[in-house]
Amino acid sequence: MTEDGRLKVLVVGAHPSDPFANVGGTIAKHVNRGDEVILVTLTYGVEVHTEYLIGKSESEIKRTVHEKAMEAAAILGVVDYRFLDFGDTPLVATRDNLIQLGEVIQDVQPNIVISSHVPLRETGLGGDHGEAGRMVEKAPSWRQHFGRKSHRPKAIYFSITDIATVNHPIYRIPDTFVDITDTIDQKIDACMTSWNLPLEDLPRIDNVFRGMGGEHGRSVGVKYAEPFESPWLHRRAVEHLE
């Protein structure tokens, strides 16, 4: 945390639209409190979430996805969105990929990292989303290499809101909830933009996110919430619980 209490927050997603769909409301909350939020996607998500681009060339898909993701980020007040190009479906945690992700963490030096995905440690399921969650855990940001400053974030928070894992037992264990009642409109707007959906799809998308956000919100007594698994990787001493 900086002297004035502002945080530097790094948000990691498997595909460019994932941060918006899974933790978009939380991103806007951090921006609104004056935190510096940086997004990074591990892939261009060429193979998924891109139905509207079927038949286009790979370079055209990447260009459009990048443009839409930057527009969506701006809706949440984020200007720094970094694209890694590990290749999706499958995303694979090679040594090189883990080192590259670790170097992003070293470059950004975030106080906290938000993973848009839960790692699904027990089963290895979850496709690119589970792999991305596992990569956030494994990325060696503590390397001392070529003069880069090593860095360990204070905390990694894992998002549980993954539509694909709604039937997995892990969906039931979130223990930290961010109240997104005042940012859910921005989240929905960012999702519509990043997926490049026509306006006629708004009622359906609105319904999905208000349904999920409302379900999580009800469990903690607010209107809409995004759920997280709080950090367990590092033991730490605190003055009080926060």
Which one, 98 or 132, has the nearer CB to Zn ion? 132
Which one, 133 or 217, has the nearer CB to Zn ion? 133
Helix and strand numbers, DSSP H then E, in the chain: 6, 7
Which one, 15 or 187, has the nearer CB to Zn ion? 15
CA angle 62, 20, 220 (to 5 degrees): 160
- Minimum Å gap between C-beta 77 and Zn ion is 22
Which one, 106 or 161, has the nearer CB to Zn ion? 161
Of 10, 12, 16, 18, the one binding Zn ion (CB under 5 A) is: 18
Nearest 10 degrees: Cα torsion 120, 124, 130, 131? 140
Is the Cβ–Cβ distance between 41 and 85 less than 8 Å?
no
CA angle 108, 113, 119 (to 5 degrees): 130
Q: Identify the helix (H) or strand (E) that includes residue 226.
A: strand 225-229
- Minimum Å gap between C-beta 29 and Zn ion is 21
Cis peptide before 90 (omega within 30 of 0): yes
Residue 117 in the binding site for Zn ion (CB under 5 A): no
- Minimum Å gap between C-beta 191 and Zn ion is 11
Nearest Cα to 32, choosing from 78, 64, 72, 68?
A: 78
Is the Cβ–Cβ distance between 2 and 32 less than 8 Å?
no
Part of the chain binding Zn ion (CB under 5 A), chosen from 1-9, 13-21, 58-66, 223-231: 13-21
Q: Which residue has its beta carbon closest to Zn ion?
A: 15
- Minimum Å gap between C-beta 121 and Zn ion is 19
CA distance 204 to 80: 29
Of 11, 12, 15, 225, the one binding Zn ion (CB under 5 A) is: 15
Residue 29 in the binding site for Zn ion (CB under 5 A): no
Which one, 18 or 36, has the nearer CB to Zn ion? 18
Which one, 15 or 29, has the nearer CB to Zn ion? 15
Total chain residues near Zn ion (CB under 5 A): 2
- Minimum Å gap between C-beta 113 and Zn ion is 18
Residues in touch with Zn ion (CB under 5 A):
15, 18
